[in-house]
Chains A and B, each alone.
Chain A
Amino acid sequence: MTPRRQRTLVVIGILVGAGIGTAVALTAFSGNLLYYYTPTQALSKNLGPKDVFRLGGLVEKGTVERKAGSLTIRFIVTDNRNSIPVVFTGILPNLFRAGQGVIVNGHMSNRGVFVANQVLAKHDSDYMPLKLYNKENGTRYTEPGQMNRGAGYGGP
């Protein structure tokens, strides 16, 4: 084999490798996008138990219920127009609180309850709580240790 042909082979190898990489990336990509909906959007979409998505809104005051000593908690997420009841079993993020923003990952059950496998609490980046400066503040989300991913690196 001449050096030239060998180099052509190397180039073809690179292209094939990069192509396979891209194909793998795009396949994995399309299956792992999590869309974010508000309760109003979610209800208008007629989502079934197989559609995993993120639901975002406020934890409605007075709706947080927990049987003492159990890790299962129920609450209602609202965008002040529509609401969806949510059930979650696990450790809540430290910042979870009634009246605060929340994002939950999961799916709708057949009975219209959102079954969450992950809860992220929203906290204002004005967590610098003196509010010295009344700037527009963005929001951030945390959950207990950002944990509980599916297949995982990092996750147990």
Chain B
Amino acid sequence: MNVQSTIRIVVIGNGMVGYKFCEKLMARNKNQDPFSITVFGEEPRAAYDRVHLSEFFAGKSADELTMAPAEWYAENGIRLFLSDPVVDIDREEKLVRSHHGHIVYYDYLIMATGSGAFVPSIPGVEKDGVFVYRTIEDLELIQSYARKAKRGAVLGGGLLGLEAAKALLDLGLEEAHVVEFAQRLMPRQIDEAGSRMLQSQLEALGLQIHLNKSTQEIAGGECIKGMQFADSSFLDVDMLVISAGIRPRDELAKIAGLETHPRGGIVVDNFLRTSDPNIFAIGECALAHHMIYGLIAPGYEMAEVVVANLCGGSREFLPFDMSTKLKLIGTDVASFGDAFIEEPACKTIRYENKAKGVYKRINVSADGKQLLGGILVGDAEQYNMLLQTCKGKTILPPDPEDLILGSRGGEEAGAGVMSFPDDALICSCEAVTKGMICHEVGENGHTTIDAIKKCCKAGTGCGGCVPMVKDLIQGVLKQKGVYIRNVVCEHFDHSRQELLDLVKINGLRTYNAVLNEFGKGDGCEVCKPLVASILASLWNENILQKDRAPIQDSNDRYLANIQKGGTYSVVPRIPGGEITPEKLIVIGQVAQRYGLYTKITGGQRIDMFGAHLGDLPSIWEELINAGFESGHAYGKSLRTVKSCVGSTWCRFGVQDSVSFAIEVEDRYKGLRSPHKLKSAVSGCVRECAEAQSKDFGIIATEKGWNLYVCGNGGSKPQHAQLIATDVDKETCIRLIDRFLMFYIKTADPLTRTATWLNKMEGGINYLKAVVVDDVLGIGAELEREIQMLIDVYQCEWKEVVESPELRKRFSHFVNVPIKDPSIQFEPMRSQKRVKEWS
């Protein structure tokens, strides 16, 4: 190795941008050129993800936030000094001196010193209980102080301030306040109306927001007691987090005689050179194009520019788009392009929906042809699309409001991301264009998100572009005429639907038979439960028999729901929610005998928690002897058919909803499907059983029953849709038979009926045509198939209880008859709970 020609690079600062510089230099250089890199960091930790700092309070560990472990630096031959800030730069000798006395010579010096919190000079800021929000150390201090605090405030209603306020909420403070000097929140990113919408969303979550407040003094003795404002109001708080902006860390540059701006920042040219051509500045310490870029994407771009220039290229840092999208305490906030431009320089389209907490604004050029910018609050789903339309100067459709409202004419709007120009930026964090991604997909065969992340890093930053990358992959494949199928995994080159047909035609009943016939390799945790579900949906044999036990997913494997600590919960079936006093007593006795925590479920059943694996067969033996059956709470199968009390007791009821619910539940119990199935029967239009939120729901009418399908509760609620009106019981059952079997045979794995319908071409009209009008002529076949499954139903727990062979598998240890000694409980409200995991 030629020692003389080694280029010595010293990086001051090991934050996100400093780290990214090293990563990019390594990636581009691939150890070809003899660079020697030394990094000095002030903090005790290697670079971590400061953007997601607030997740520290939501449970992420410092390690999880780390950009790369210390070993990464060692492996790449980078010397890393932590807790060791550089204190002096000798530009004549071209050397730096660190706090611990290390002296390192450089050929190029990279200043990536970042920024610190700006602390206004308010009397009392030095008191205990006043913090800044910048580093993991700051967070640890806040966390420990918050344990004895009740009321916390954040000074500053900008982006960081609201992040800090979320942290206070996460820490469980009784009151969390935000104090802002300006008239509104996030004045730099969003307009007045957007701020108001954001404010009402945040207030609904329990934040108290105080605007137009100039803090005069932080009151208290040694510790903070409150905040005194100029309008003579006073806020009682016992801790305060200051988040009033950032100040570039340019003090070292000043000492070294580099040009800095009077208001802060190391002045750099378009190549990010400081006034000394051997010294570069990148990230939040650098003042480029007369501004400090306080976002991560431009920081990474700066790292890229310097790396390119050091490796012999010539690249300039251009004024960077400051469009941004983030989630603030659960509320989407985004602004892009020229967000604030006013009429008459543009035409503005605004949409405001206070009921949903949504505000959208787009600014369209005066000729109506281009999108100039906009603001989204409460729903930023269209952000990427709008951003590309704006940046790519895409010609707008004649009704540009469709961009934020969606097309209301029935036809699909736009051609999506495939219509963007090749140089449209898809991943702004890593600066990856549409053309680059399409090239990777089309030419290099990278056709999965993971492969794209690896080969060009798109989607590895904030992750916001992942849906667009997915669309691009599909789009390119479609263009190439590739028939796109959702194949199961590396072991099966088939979709679930294809596999189901193949298994059926060939009459296969074990996993190994399916794998030998149609797969390769040894299977995995994706295809095993999928095949298990198909086998159960086709033959309805006991899922633990033959080779089927070890292919079941976590819960099905032991016919119970695995809970924290490794214990299980037990849910006997209580059809329609109707139960006799005798059976209630049995549940109580069993729970007492086995020390179980009991709770009523949302599905009108009783859940017993904390059962040891080894106790499950005895518990079920007692339940079965009392006439209970498995409730399949652990399975992708019919859970519960909820009912209201109906015409037998209720003075409004028009039909006997309980009897019908029990009939329906008994008919479909044990039916395994691509995902869980929920149902309900209401006795009148008041809909007390909430049937319209179920996979299939039935509502009584004066003349019969109305049938609704494909509803969903959970994280994405969706109302079920009506497919039959005033039908009698027999017709209703026949339609449900067809509906369920059609779903089982055609849905993708782990897809609820609502999502299945949403993806279905033709939607509810098509589904109705198949199920009700039988346009495919498969109605009779579907009915026959489901009747076969119903006919062979057995309570699977009864089979286990009666089989010594199967019972034997229910023990924690194979060699000693003891329970797992690591399981620990603690008391809670006269019952018990399992110890919290760390």
- Bound pair (A, B): no
Write the residues of chain A forming the contact surface with B, with a CB cutoff of 8 angstroms: none
